[in-house]
Copies of this chain bind each other. A is one copy, B any other.
Amino acid sequence: MDLLLKNISLHVTLTPEEQEKVLSFFSREQYPSKTRLLCANQQISKSYFVLSGILRNYYLDDQINEHTLSFSSPGWWMADMYSFLTQKQSTSYIEVLEDADVLIITAERRDALFEEVPKIERYFRIIIERSLIANQQRLLDNLSLTAQERYERFNKRYPTIKNCLAQKQIASYLGITPEFFSKMKKNLLKNK
C-alpha cells in the first residue's frame, strides 16, 4: 500500500487522514502468473496499481495477432484505458506475467474518490499526462525508427523486466513478428 502513497506523494501532498481515506477506496488482490485479469468484450473495467509482479496489456486483431500496449511493474498503473474511461466494453486483455499483488479501483469508485479527496484528481491528471507523453513518443518511435532501433530503446526503457519476458511478447510490443525478432536479434549480436 505504501508504494501507492509514495507514488501519490510525488505529485500531491496528502494528510494522514486523506491517505487513509484514499486507500479505503481500493481493494487488494493477489494473482498467480498466467491469470487473466481482463478479456475483450467485458463490461466491468478496473484499474490496477501494481505492488509487486508484472502485468501485460494487449490487443488481438482478428483473433490472431497480439499487440502489446504496455507492461506494468511495481509502482505502475495498468488498465484498459478505453473501457475504463468510457465505460464501454473492453477491447483488450490484461494478463499476469509474474505473480502479482495489486490494488484495484473501479471507475465508479475512482469518481467517488475524486469527490471525497479532490487532490487525488490532480494526481490522476498528472499521471495520465505522463502516459500521454510516453505514448506519443512511442508512436513517433514507430513512425521513424527501424525495429532494431526500437528494440534498443525498449531495452533502455524496461531494463528490469525484459529478462522475464518471452521473446514473442517483446516482439508484439515492438510491432514485429516473433520470427523477425529472432533474426534481428541474431544480427545485432553478429555486429557487436
Contacts of A132 in B (CB 8 A): 81, 128, 131-132, 135
Contacts of A109 in B (CB 8 A): none
Question: A174: nearest residue on chain B (CB-CB)?
Answer: B143
Q: How far is the CB of A65 from chain B (nearest CB, A)?
A: 7
Q: Contact at B67–A140, with CB atoms within 8 Å?
A: yes
The verdict on A61 contacting chain B, using a C-beta distance below 8 Å, is: yes
Q: Contact at B121–A69, with CB atoms within 8 Å?
A: no
The verdict on A165 contacting chain B, using a C-beta distance below 8 Å, is: no
Contact with B along A91-107 (1 / 0, CB 8 A): 00000000000000000
| Docked CA distance A139–B141 (Å) | 10
The verdict on A112 contacting chain B, using a C-beta distance below 8 Å, is: no
Q: Contact at A142–B175, with CB atoms within 8 Å?
A: yes
The winner among A82, A135, A136, A140 for most chain B CB atoms within 10 A is A136
The verdict on A129 contacting chain B, using a C-beta distance below 8 Å, is: yes
Known: A128-B125, A128-B128. A133 touches B81 (CB 8 A): yes
| Docked CA distance A114–B123 (Å) | 13
The verdict on A63 contacting chain B, using a C-beta distance below 8 Å, is: no
19 additional contacts, CB 8 Å, given A85-B130, A121-B122? A59-B140, A59-B144, A61-B140, A65-B144, A67-B144, A69-B136, A69-B139, A81-B129, A82-B137, A85-B133, A118-B118, A121-B121, A121-B125, A128-B132, A131-B132, A132-B132, A132-B135, A139-B139, A142-B142
A-B contact pairs, 10 of them (CB 8 A): A59-B140, A59-B144, A67-B140, A81-B132, A81-B136, A82-B136, A121-B125, A125-B125, A125-B128, A142-B175
